[in-house]
């Protein structure tokens, strides 16, 4: 029992570390949890994917609480792109389940490894822009009202999103990767918004943190029905993620865009190399270190050699396109704050109850409350758009709810 206790405390610390990394980089905690548990603690990857998926919901809730209050998260952008990620997540799980049941799960190792290795490079690429310059709005900018602003060091930063359709395609793939690997695929979301839609990195990261929770929700019950969630580890990991995410969000607000993320590049590269070689049945530590070194080297060369050309800032009256609903922002903030407190308390109770009785009943209750939060958030967004009589975003919110309903309440009972 003593060994089990210290092992579970180690799981808690892993969750804290993953929460910090996930919230700062926009990766989501799942991209860190699964590789660490698989590589260093020898947990089967298929069992870590389910709890990693749930940890991204914790990361999302804990992180977006701060970002929504500071009005950095853009809910129009989030809702318009969630139509893609929630749809893609369903197909990601279906492929995961097919590969596992047909003894082809080594492919998941390979894909996971490649995603982490690319993420290491992308973490550098997305920080190459030293200053944000708004793009000239295109048709999608006006159609989806992709304008926004936020305050940074006393200065108002105005921005607009462009090339929405290409961003949507990237989000479809991001959702697929999320459902397949049990991660938030935040790096793909951030890159889609930052490099393709030309949004400021802080807007991309914070909006991604809001989106990953809803995306993960789509396939959460599918993973439950498939038996891929370890309810003993769940409360320990998610408590750690909740704590770590709060620490990470405070760091992100204070740090420059290209600091801290670099610290994790070599580590993420190593995890990716280990998973890739594991999938290829090559268990050699030196090979893993070599691959990690090469990917990290490429990343840092890109940082030193590649720079985005500066351009003239577009002159546009952003204010007439920006509509901020302070009443809704306050309601969402209060809901998330209450949800976070309830989940934190229930998390602690689930841990104490398990340590005293070795019963996971409270972990199940915690699980169902956790996955209900992103669903309620989307319903709140829908209510806001109904009050505004915003037909476009009423339709988009409804599509997300349909995708969530399909993934959470219909498919689990049809295919499993």
Rg (CA), the chain: 20
186, 26 contact by CB (below 8 A): yes
Tens digit of pLDDT for each residue in 239-249? Answer: 998 888 778 76
pLDDT at 405 over 90: yes
pLDDT at 11 over 60: yes
Residues 6+ apart with CB under 8 A from 26: 186, 187, 189, 190, 204, 205, 208, 209
Q: How far is CA 404 from CA 69, 76, 95, 190, 371, in A?
A: 26, 18, 18, 22, 11
58, 245 contact by CB (below 8 A): yes
Kind plus residue range of the DSSP H or E element containing 147: strand 147-152
266, 87 contact by CB (below 8 A): no
pLDDT at 30 over 70: yes
Which pLDDT does position 3 carry in this prediction?
44
Q: How many domains does the chain fold into?
A: 1
**Residue-number span of the structural domain to which 32 is assigned:** 2-415
* Nearest Cα to Cα of residue 25 among 113, 94, 123: 123
Tens digit of pLDDT for each residue in 88-141? Answer: 999 999 999 999 889 999 999 999 888 888 877 776 665 555 566 777 888 999
Residues 6+ apart with CB under 8 A from 262: 123, 124, 303
* Nearest Cα to Cα of residue 65 among 333, 377, 397, 305: 333
pTM score, whole prediction? 0.86
pLDDT at 230 over 70: yes
pLDDT at 263 over 70: no
Least confident of 206-215, 316-325, 328-337: 316-325
Q: Is 393 exposed, middle or buried (0-12, 13-18, 19+ CB in 10 A)?
A: buried
| Residue-wise burial string across 293-329, b where 16 or more C-beta atoms lie within 10 A, e elsewhere | eebbeebeeebeeeeeeeeeeeeeebeebbeeeeebb
pLDDT at 172 over 90: yes
pLDDT at 171 over 70: yes
Which pLDDT does position 303 carry in this prediction?
62
Other Cβ atoms closer than 10 A to 348: 14
In terms of pLDDT, which residue wins out, 390 or 56? 390
- pLDDT above 70 as % of the chain: 85
Which pLDDT does position 345 carry in this prediction?
94
Least confident of 65-74, 86-95, 176-185, 326-335: 65-74
CA separation for the pair 180, 96 (Å, rounded): 5
225, 412 contact by CB (below 8 A): yes
- Residue 264: pLDDT band with limits 50, 70, 90: low
Please count the residues of the chain. Answer: 416
Tens digit of pLDDT for each residue in 279-317? Answer: 898 877 788 888 888 887 777 776 666 555 545 455 566
* Nearest Cα to Cα of residue 22 among 174, 175, 197, 213: 213
DSSP β-bridge partners for residue 158 = 149
């Amino acid at each position: 029992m003593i060994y089990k206790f210290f092992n579970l405390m180690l799981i808690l610390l892993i969750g804290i570390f993953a929460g910090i990394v996930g919230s700062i980089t926009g990766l989501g905690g799942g991209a860190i949890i699964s590789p660490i548990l698989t590589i260093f603690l020898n947990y089967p990857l298929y069992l870590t994917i389910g709890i990693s998926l749930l940890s991204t919901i914790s990361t999302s809730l804990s992180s977006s609480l701060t970002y929504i209050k500071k009005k950095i998260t853009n809910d129009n952008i989030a809702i318009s792109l969630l139509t893609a990620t929630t749809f893609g997540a369903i197909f990601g799980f279906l492929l995961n389940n097919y590969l596992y049941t047909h003894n082809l799960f080594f492919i998941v190792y390979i894909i996971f490894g490649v995603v982490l290795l690319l993420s290491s490079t992308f973490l550098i690429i997305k920080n190459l822009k030293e200053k944000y310059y708004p793009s000239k709005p295109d048709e999608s900018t006006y159609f989806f009202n992709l304008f926004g602003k936020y305050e940074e060091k006393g200065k108002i930063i105005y921005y607009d999103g462009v090339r929405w359709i290409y961003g949507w395609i990237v989000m479809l793939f991001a959702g697929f990767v999320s459902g397949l690997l049990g991660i938030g695929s935040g790096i793909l979301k951030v890159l889609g918004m930052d490099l393709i839609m030309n949004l400021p990195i802080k807007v991309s990261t914070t909006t991604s943190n809001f989106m990953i929770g809803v995306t993960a929700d789509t396939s959460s019950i599918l993973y439950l029905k498939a038996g891929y969630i370890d309810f003993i580890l769940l409360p320990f990991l998610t408590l750690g993620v909740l704590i770590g995410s709060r620490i990470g969000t405070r760091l992100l607000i204070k740090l420059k865009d290209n600091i801290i993320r670099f610290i994790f590049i070599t580590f993420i590269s190593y995890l990716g190399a280990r998973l890739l070689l594991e999938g290829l049945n090559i268990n050699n530590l030196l090979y893993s270190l070599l691959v990690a070194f090469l990917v990290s080297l490429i990343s840092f060369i890109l940082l030193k050699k590649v720079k985005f050309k500066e351009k003239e800032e577009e002159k546009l009256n952003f204010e007439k396109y920006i509509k901020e609903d302070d009443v809704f922002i306050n309601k969402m903030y209060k809901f998330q704050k209450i949800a976070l407190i309830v989940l934190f308390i229930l998390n602690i109770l689930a841990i104490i109850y398990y340590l005293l009785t070795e019963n996971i009943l409270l972990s199940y209750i915690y699980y169902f409350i956790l996955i209900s939060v992103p669903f309620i958030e989307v319903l709140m967004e829908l209510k806001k758009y109904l009050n505004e009589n915003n037909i476009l975003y009423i339709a988009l919110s409804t599509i997300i709810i349909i995708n969530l309903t399909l993934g959470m309440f219909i498919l689990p009972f049809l295919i499993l």
